[in-house]
Amino acid sequence: MTGGALLAEMLGEAGVGTVFALGGAGHTHFLLPLEDRGVSIIGVRHESSAVGAADGYARATGKLGVAAIIAEQGLANAMTAIQCAYMYGSPVVVVVTRWIDGWIEAAGEVPVDLHATLQPITKWARTVPSRRDLGEYMRTAMRIAQSGRPGPVVLTVPQDYMAMAEEQRGPLPVPALPMAPAASDEAIEAIAAMLAEVQRPALVVDSGCTGDHAAAALERLSREFGLPVFSYGGARGLVPENDSAGVYPWAYAQVALPASDGLVIAGARLNMWFGFGREPRFPASLRIAQIDADSEAIARNREVALGVVGDPGLALAQLAEVLAAKGLGWSRTWLDDALAERREAVAALTSGEAIHGLDLARAVERHRPREGCMAGDGADVLNWSYGAIRIARPRGYMDHHPMGSMGTGFILGIGAAAAELEAARAEGRAAVPVTLLTGDGAFGFYLAELETLARHALPMRIVVGNDAQWGTEYHGQKIVTGRHANTRLSAARFALVAQGLGVASAETSAPETLDTVMQDFFNGPAPALLDVTIDPEAGFALKADPRVSFLVFRDLAAPEG
């Protein structure tokens, strides 16, 4: 068995049905066995696209995401996507083929220590030392990527190992993953005791809390005990978001936190997107219990009353049992009162002569398939989406959180679309297209991937909110200095670009016909793109009016010293 065939067999046994790759002769002997096994190979136009799509595939399926690139020029290009996967905690294996050993010093063009470069943004990065060790190194890579807090690993393989044949001794070395740890009974009892002493509790969940057990536990905690759920990142949709049921995106509901007196945080790190857990967003008096599989995440940036190490989903299921035994429950009326001002202000925003970014998001929400995956990207356009888009299923949402790298939503969406196509073929049904809502600035980063959508007939519909500027920078500069610099873009005709790359497209700028155009777009073919000209001044409110600001920076404390 050749080295490439061995890796293909191992990935097939692990359930990987799609691999993302940039064309490279170095991994020919890896890709051909994948193709022979019936694994789909999605060829992309940039190395970050390959890794980012593998990340999106992992987020959408819960399985391992796999990308294949070459080391010499390719790995440098892939760094952004690797870091995004690392910060999110996505189980991705990046198979990197490099020159054979004899070429390294002789050529000398690649003096960079790749392991040292990758160390801060991967869970594990190694070069396979011999063909004999290839299976063991791949098994280790797959296990590390999926164990504990998941994350990307990079396995570098000298390209001659891929073609080198060796007898396979014994069964394939497919990894057995360690079971996630449950929290101790004492810890769960302590959280329940804390909740019993408060009147206005809430749950905050982020991407570290996923999976079927987490979805079932959160649904029960919300329905049976009246606990509000504020979700972010990949945790959105674990419980169907529904304002009337107290299940909100974190970005929308965070303004209610000062009214709460008790908080359970599960799988969320108190980073910038959470105001570092500090005042004014998190009152000093707020009692917090934090649950995370990674002990290093506990009490980062602020102290918590209780820190619990364990699988967040399992811990929440344990918590539901204890709350039921104690007969506890709460009213959510405090949340309605705390969000009343925001709700009224958001409802008042609407289009004038130009389409408002919030009205664009509302139109997308009215017409997109709710059972499909939703991807978000951009800055102002993404921010407006929090006022309208509600996610209805687990693994049904992804954006560039937490790194915030523009353009990432598109390549994540490619991975989700490939995963949906794989599932639809296996189940003998029509694919439900992924919806991407993005801004014109962010969309420009990976524009060539439109051709990837067309070539592979990937089910995705893209809505571009086009205000011909870097909107969040434009408004931020104007507020701070009264001027702006380097914020304007041209009024690009993305519909024409899409047509040239083989993707069906349309465009509109009229508020009065937006709903009709959107309905026709979502009833049409996929892949497809809709270019919507939006009001370039509407984003000012996102910076100037706290009632409608969904991603907040102005309250972050300045560093001491």
Per-residue pLDDT of the chain (561 residues; tens, 9 = 90+): 999 999 999 999 999 999 999 987 788 999 999 999 999 999 999 999 999 999 999 999 999 999 999 988 899 999 999 999 999 999 999 999 988 876 666 555 555 577 888 999 999 999 999 999 999 999 999 999 999 889 999 999 999 999 999 886 666 767 777 777 889 999 999 999 999 999 999 999 999 998 888 999 999 999 999 999 999 999 999 999 999 999 999 999 999 999 999 999 999 999 989 999 998 899 999 999 999 998 999 999 999 999 999 999 999 999 999 999 999 999 999 999 999 999 999 999 999 999 999 999 999 999 999 999 999 999 999 999 999 999 999 999 999 989 989 999 999 999 999 999 999 999 999 999 999 999 999 999 999 999 999 999 999 999 999 999 999 999 989 988 999 999 999 999 999 999 999 999 999 999 999 999 999 999 999 999 999 999 999 999 999 999 999 987 766 655 454
Domain identity same for 366 and 515: yes
Domain identity same for 434 and 507: yes
Position 177 scores a pLDDT of 78
Position 110 scores a pLDDT of 56
Position 559 scores a pLDDT of 44
Sequence-separated contacts (24+) of 426-431 with Cβ below 8 Å: 426/17, 431/459, 431/526
User: For the chain, how many residues are written?
Assistant: 561
Contact by Cβ (8 Å): 91, 151: yes
Amino acid letter, residue 488: R
In a domain? residue 327 = yes
Global pTM reads 0.95
Domain identity same for 394 and 508: yes
φ, ψ of residue 513 to 5 degrees: the values are -110, 5
In a domain? residue 492 = yes
Amino acid letter, residue 556: L
Domain residues for the domain of 308 are: 185-339
Q: How many domains does the chain have?
A: 3
Position 103 scores a pLDDT of 66
In a domain? residue 179 = no
Coil vs helix vs strand at 8: helix
Task: Quote the radius of gyration of the chain (alpha carbons, Å).
Answer: 24
| Distance in angstroms (rounded) separating the CA atoms of residues 43 and 85 | 19
| β strands within 305-382, DSSP E | 306-309, 374-376
Domain identity same for 32 and 50: yes
| Distance in angstroms (rounded) separating the CA atoms of residues 446 and 468 | 17
Domain identity same for 517 and 538: yes
Q: 556 — alpha (psi -120 to 50), left (phi > 0) or beta? A: beta
In a domain? residue 370 = yes
Last residue of a domain, one of 113, 132, 163: 163
Contact by Cβ (8 Å): 468, 491: yes
In a domain? residue 560 = no
Position 104 scores a pLDDT of 66
In a domain? residue 344 = no
Domain identity same for 9 and 106: yes
Domain with residue 247: its CATH number is: 3.40.50.1220
Domain identity same for 247 and 314: yes
Domain identity same for 375 and 302: no
Contact by Cβ (8 Å): 422, 387: no
DSSP per-residue string spanning 71-105: TTTHHHHHHHHHHHHHHHT--EEEEEEE--HHHHH
Position 561 scores a pLDDT of 40
Domain identity same for 138 and 250: no
Position 167 scores a pLDDT of 80
Domain identity same for 394 and 509: yes
First-to-last C-alpha distance (Å) of the chain: 61
Amino acid letter, residue 413: G
Token pair, residue 244, equals 């009337």
Domain identity same for 156 and 189: no
Cis? peptide before 536, omega within 30° of 0: no
Domain with residue 417: its CATH number is: 3.40.50.970
In a domain? residue 50 = yes
Last residue of a domain, one of 131, 163, 195: 163
In a domain? residue 172 = no
Position 42 scores a pLDDT of 98
Token pair, residue 27, equals 């991994």
Domain identity same for 468 and 533: yes
Tell the residue number behind the tokens 């907040």, with chain if given.
Answer: 552
Last residue of a domain, one of 163, 197, 223: 163
